[in-house]
Structures are given as structure tokens and as C-alpha cells.
Chains A and B, each alone.
Chain A
Amino acid sequence: GESVGLHLPTLSVQEGDNSIINCAYSNSASDYFIWYKQESGKGPQFIIDIRSNMDKRQGQRVTVLLNKTVKHLSLQIAATQPGDSAVYFCAENAGTASKLTFGTGTRLQVTL
């Protein structure tokens, strides 16, 4: 499949290191936030979500931090693996329906 978003910001990390991907969101009314991972030729894959009444949520090897004061979201990946190489998108939702507003994406490259 083709690759979308060829000119994205890129984060290069060594295998085994921790990765931090940042995202600034725009709508102060947004109350639900999701991180997606997109591999080449595939659709976005749900990683983790967080609601605005929380500031931290942990999953398996991933943690999402939410700072509503500065409208900032981050995704931390522990012990990054080659399989984590992909484009990562944050998305925000302002309450109703399923309309997501996506960030521009960050390409994560894991080096051996």
C-alpha cells in the first residue's frame, strides 16, 4: 500500500529506549482524546484513550498524559520495539457524535 503523510515530523529512538510523542490540540471544549498508530498501507489502530476528567492513563507499555491547561497530550511508549515503528496520530473529540479532529501525525522510527 501507499504511504500517506510522507513529510511528517520524525522521532528516531533506539530499540529499548522510551519514546515520547507530543501533540497540541486546538479545541478547549474537547473532552475525549485518542492515540492511534498507523502502519504503512493500513488504517489507524486504536492505542489508548483518555477523557478530560483524567490527566494520566496507562496501558500495556503505553501511557497517555493530558494537560488541559496548555492543551497538550503526550504518548509515552516504554521499551520501544521495532514493531512500534509507525505514524502516530492524536485525535480529539468534543463530546457529541464521532467527529474526530486529528493532529498532523508523528513518524516514529525505531533503530536497532
Chain B
Amino acid sequence: KAGVTQTPRYLIKTRGQQVTLSCSPISGHRSVSWYQQTPGQGLQFLFEYFSETQRNKGNFPGRFSGRQFSNSRSEMNVSTLELGDSALYLCASSLSGNGNTIYFGEGSWLTVV
């Protein structure tokens, strides 16, 4: 069974640009959540989607957004990139959230220059 797949794995963007990251959850999983990981702040929850609806949101500015498609695949977008957005962005999936085991992908490394 394939795990959580994230693309691209590495990318470099310039300040002010926008970026879209993609995530394919484990087959059958309907909950997809996103996390940002940095050396200074650790792992922080961005948002969670279930059945194409955002169900929970962390404390990030509106420049961070996401969506989920009917096949449970998800994308997150960061607009007007800042240097501080450089991080590892992790996608995780679970059957439905609510205490189900949550599995992570390998992440997308974003560098903003």
C-alpha cells in the first residue's frame, strides 16, 4: 500500500512569489492535514481537510491556504512568499482523523531566497 506522497520534494522560490504543494494521501484516507517544520518553531499544524472541507486551522496568516479534492488529494498554497516561509512542509493522512493513526509523507523542502 503506497504511503503519503508529496510533490515536489525540493523547490526554491523567490520572495514575493507563490508556491503550490501537492499531497496524495494513503488510499482510503479522507483526512489530510498539513504541518510546517522549522528548526526554530518545530512542527506546527497548518490546517486539516476532510471531505473537501477545512475542518481545523492553525495559527498561520491568510497567505497559507489549502484545499482538498473529491479524491482526497490535497494542495496547499503559500502566496507572497517571505524568507521565513523556508521550511519543510509535511502532509499527513488518516482515515478520518478523530484519533485514527496519522501517517506523514516525506515532505516538501521549500527554500525562499
Contact = CB atoms under 8 A, between A and B. Distances in A.
Given A1-B109, A97-B56, A98-B97, A44 B31 contact: no
In terms of DSSP, what is the predominant structure of the interface of chain A?
Answer: loop
In terms of DSSP, what is the predominant structure of the interface of chain B?
Answer: strand
Interface in A4-59: 4-7, 31-32, 34, 36, 42-46, 49, 51
Interface residues of A, number: 31
How many B residues are at the interface, by size bracket?
A: 20 to 34
Q: Looking at A34, A42, A43, A89, which has the most chain B CB atoms within 10 Å of its CB?
A: A43
B56 A98 contact: yes
Contacts of A103: 42
B48 A6 contact: no
Nearest to A93: B99
B24 interface: no
The 5 closest A-B pairs by CB, nearest first: A98-B97, A102-B43, A43-B104, A97-B97, A97-B56
Interface of A: 1-2, 4-7, 31-32, 34, 36, 42-46, 49, 51, 89, 91, 93, 95-105
